[in-house]
């Protein structure tokens, strides 16, 4: 569906009928155990200003409001969700509300075999582990406070638990952010990590998050980058691994016109803000808030407006610079 008009009309119909159409990005706690060099948590000013954690009661209320209309819930979107007490139970909560696709994004440093077993039993669909270096020295340089050995133990534990329980899920996705210093070793990724049961591999160039390392991928490296990711694409294809790579905009300078629909379906939920600043979610229901802001009218107006007009509402949190990925299903 390429037409933004049809997309917004579909979102309006789903919203009106209470059908599943939302993409939930949930951070249950505003903290991280690492200070990755490319991340905003390596900026001391940022790290000291973000705070908060949901209580179990608050998580239950939010689940009641959002999960019945969610197609996707991803736990962990810029923070480390394993810092939340009994974090596997969020997966259980989402599945109890019938969410068809539940993901969990982590650096993997705090995961235990017991956690992974709970993920399997609660029905986690996808486990995303971020790593930004193939070699130990590079990995620990960019994943500050992380251990390369712990990473490998975690990846092995995922395989072992799934094999023991005889479960194909959660599928494992690797997220790799490329910069000038970790690009060349990326071509050797499967020589080091090929033994693990990876289902998807995601590669994107660095974005400037005002962290300790902010150097964008140099234009002079574009040819090398293209060569490396093409080599990986072919390797993923031969292994039956889904491959996602940002190939068209390595500088992050162009927008993604397809992302305008995010404003209709995306819901970012954190202890600092639930969806929108004017949503008093502790005392107001999701449906009442939508009526108050005339959300249905906004969706209809978007469907009837030009793409350029709709894009104005796609600033900031809506993801105007959402990466445009090439996807190869292997």
Average pLDDT, the chain: 92
**Model pLDDT for residues 75-127, shown as the tens digit of each residue:** 999 899 999 999 999 999 999 999 999 999 999 999 999 999 999 999 999 99
More confident residue, 8 or 263: 8
Residue 177 exposure: Cα atoms within 13 Å on the Cβ side: 22
pLDDT at 260: 85
pLDDT at 194: 97
The yes-or-no verdict on residue 159 having pLDDT over 90 is: yes
Look at 220-229, 264-273, 309-318 and tell me which has the smallest mean pLDDT: 309-318
Angle between helices 88-96 and 56-66 (to 10 degrees): 30
Nearest-Å Rg of the Cα atoms of the chain is 20
**Contact (Cβ atoms closer than 8 angstroms) between residue 73 and residue 94:** yes
The yes-or-no verdict on residue 295 having pLDDT over 90 is: yes
**Contact (Cβ atoms closer than 8 angstroms) between residue 133 and residue 140:** yes
**Model pLDDT for residues 120-150, shown as the tens digit of each residue:** 999 999 999 999 999 999 999 999 999 999 9
* Mean pLDDT (whole number) for 220-241: 94
The yes-or-no verdict on residue 280 having pLDDT over 90 is: yes
pLDDT at 328: 74
DSSP 3-state assignment of 201?
Answer: strand
Widest Cα–Cα separation across the chain:
55
Q: How confident is the model at residue 317 (pLDDT cuts 50, 70, 90)?
A: very low
* Mean pLDDT (whole number) for 45-65: 96
Q: How many domains does the chain have?
A: 1
State how far the Cα of 325 lies from the Cα of 209, in Å rounded to an integer. Answer: 19
DSSP 3-state assignment of 41?
Answer: helix
Helices (H), 38-195: 44-49, 56-66, 88-96, 113-122, 136-142, 148-165, 183-186, 189-193
Domain of residue 129 covers 4-328
pLDDT at 258: 66
Q: For residue 7, give the H/E element and its range.
A: helix 4-17
User: How far, in Å, are 17, 20, 310, 313 from residue 10 at the CA level?
Assistant: 11, 11, 15, 18
The yes-or-no verdict on residue 51 having pLDDT over 60 is: yes
pLDDT at 77: 93
pLDDT at 318: 45
* Mean pLDDT (whole number) for 158-185: 97
pLDDT at 323: 58
**Model pLDDT for residues 247-275, shown as the tens digit of each residue:** 876 665 555 666 788 889 999 999 999 99
User: How far, in Å, are 214, 263, 275, 297, 312 from residue 315 at the CA level?
Assistant: 22, 9, 14, 19, 6
State how far the Cα of 97 lies from the Cα of 91, in Å rounded to an integer. Answer: 10
CATH of the domain at 103: 3.20.20.70
Q: What is the DSSP letter of 145?
A: T
**Model pLDDT for residues 296-309, shown as the tens digit of each residue:** 999 999 999 998 88
pLDDT at 312: 76
pLDDT at 240: 96
Burial-class residue 82 by CB neighbours within 10 Å (0-12, 13-18, 19+): buried
The yes-or-no verdict on residue 320 having pLDDT over 90 is: no
Q: What is the DSSP letter of 276?
A: S
Percent of the chain with pLDDT over 90: 82
pLDDT at 306: 92
The yes-or-no verdict on residue 155 having pLDDT over 80 is: yes
pLDDT at 19: 98
């Amino acid at each position: 569906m390429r037409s933004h008009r049809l997309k917004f009309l579909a979102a309006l119909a789903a919203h009106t009928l209470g059908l599943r159409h939302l993409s939930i990005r949930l951070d249950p706690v505003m903290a991280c155990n690492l200070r990755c060099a490319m991340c905003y948590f390596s900026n001391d000013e940022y790290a000291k200003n973000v705070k908060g954690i949901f209580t179990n009661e608050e998580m239950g209320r939010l689940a009641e409001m959002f999960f019945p209309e969610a197609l996707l819930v991803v736990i962990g979107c810029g923070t480390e969700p394993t810092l939340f007490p009994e974090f596997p139970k969020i997966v259980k909560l989402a599945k109890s509300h019938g969410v068809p696709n539940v993901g969990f994004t982590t650096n993997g440093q705090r995961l235990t075999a017991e956690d992974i077993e709970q993920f399997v039993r609660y029905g986690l669909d996808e486990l995303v582990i971020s790593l930004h270096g193939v070699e130990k020295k590079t990995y620990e340089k960019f994943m500050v406070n992380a251990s390369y050995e712990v990473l490998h133990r975690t990846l092995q534990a995922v395989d072992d638990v799934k094999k023991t329980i005889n479960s194909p899920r959660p599928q494992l996705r690797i997220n790799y952010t490329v910069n000038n210093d970790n690009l060349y070793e990326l071509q050797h990724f499967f020589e080091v990590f090929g033994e693990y049961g990876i289902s998807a591999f995601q590669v994107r160039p660095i974005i400037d998050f005002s962290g300790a390392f902010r150097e964008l991928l140099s234009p002079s490296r574009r040819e090398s980058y293209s060569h490396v990711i093409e080599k990986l694409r072919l390797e993923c294809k031969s292994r039956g691994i889904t491959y996602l790579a940002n190939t068209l905009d390595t500088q992050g300078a162009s927008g993604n016109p397809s992302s305008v629909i995010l404003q209709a379906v995306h819901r970012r939920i954190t202890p600092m803000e639930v969806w929108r600043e004017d949503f008093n979610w502790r005392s107001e229901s999701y449906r009442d808030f939508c009526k108050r802001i005339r959300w249905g009218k906004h969706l209809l107006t978007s469907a009837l407006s030009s793409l350029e007009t709709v894009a104005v509402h796609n600033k900031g949190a809506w993801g105007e610079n959402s990466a445009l990925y090439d996807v190869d299903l292997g």
